[in-house]
Amino acid sequence: MAKRLPPLNPLRAFEATARHASLTKAASELNVTHGAISHQIKALEQSLGVKLFERVGQRVKLTPHGAELLPAVSTAFDGIAAATQRLTRPASSGALSVSCVPALLLLWMTPRLGSFTAQYPDIQLTLIASNDAKDIRASHIDVCVHYGDGRWTDCWMRKWSGLELFPVVSPTLINNRPIRSVRDLADHVFLHGDDGREWHTWLAAADALDLDSGRRHRLGDARMATEAAVHGHGVALGDSVTASALLARGMLVAPFSLSVPAVDDFYVVCRNEMRATPIVQVFIDWLFAEKAGDDSRADAPVAGRLVTRRKRPALKVMGGKAS
């Protein structure tokens, strides 16, 4: 047989009045009139057949019956409030699988794992270095951070960042084999992280397409090309997102002021049904918050950081030697 419980509104009026020891303050908290609170308490007293308050001057005081009822009512309301908060706030625990462009994963996301863990210590990440469009619909992957043209269909996506491309080289290599002009690139090995389109775009902007047939290595992706540049194996195309930390730490230098927009952009992508998952929302919000933080710091001068510019009439060398 179901237990008979008093109506909810009179119980709320009772709990607020007991907490404030005042009908007026309870009415203000619950956004009702003084008379409404008084009426609800009287209705509750009649329902229970006991007196719950007695008046002491301008205030009210719990009777023994009221003092016996209050802890149970307060505990119940606290429990309801806690359960409601758990349902409405983003989940901050569980497992999350993320597919991310290898260069972005290694050079941007991995250094920030400590920040993510500090904010969400109960989320366990599985990070997969990949830019395969099949990951978007893979059942074992929750969210992707991919590089592309944004033409994926039947999924949720949002552009995370555009990026600019510019040559980068190790300080050791440029000291041993100076780059005083764009023509000096002919003495270096071009490191490709794609099929050659991106270097072609930059050389076209620099009016140096005849260098496109120079010595080259084709590596699997931008991460490998950047790593090869760090080790002094040639000149790679860095980008304004993944190369910025390497420039700031002096592991790479950017010899020219010319940069060109990349062919594609970085996107956050996931299956439509995953977008509403609280833990996915937490991760996506973190990604965009971190990027916003990067953008807000971009105006501050940092040693070694390239100030990127679009195509200009003349190509300026940023220094023939690295100090």
Number of structural domains the chain divides into: 3
**What number is the average pLDDT over the span 233-246?**
90
CATH number of the domain residue 269 falls in: 3.40.190.10
Mean pLDDT of the chain: 85
Euclidean distance between CA atoms 118 and 111, whole angstroms:
13
Of 29, 61, 88, the residue that ends a domain is 88
Q: Would the pLDDT of 176 be above 80? A: yes
Same domain, 12 and 62: yes
**253 and 184 in a common domain:** yes
Same domain flag for 137 and 152: yes
What is the band of 300 on the pLDDT scale with cuts at 50, 70, 90?
A: very low
Give residue-wise pLDDT tens across range 105-163: 999 999 999 999 999 999 999 999 999 999 999 989 999 999 999 999 889 999 999 98
199 exposed, middle or buried (CB, 10 Å; 0-12, 13-18, 19+)? buried
DSSP state of 193: S
What SS3 class is residue 316?
Answer: coil
Domain limits for position 63: 8-88
CA distances from 119 to 111, 154, 279, 285 (A): 15, 32, 13, 12
Nearest to 101 by CA among 199, 222, 245, 192: 222
Task: Kindly state whether residue 23 falls inside one of the protein's structural domains.
Answer: yes
pTM exceeds 0.85, yes or no: no
Check whether residue 116 and residue 236 sit in a common domain: no
Dump pLDDT digits (tens) for 267-288.
Answer: 999 999 898 889 999 999 999 9
**What's the average model confidence in pLDDT over 21-41?**
91
Mean pLDDT of 32-43: 92
pLDDT tens for residues 50-82? 999 998 887 899 999 999 999 989 888 877 876
End residue of a domain, out of 40, 63, 88: 88
For residue 195, being part of any structural domain is answered with: yes
225 and 77 inside one domain: no
Amino acid in position 242: T
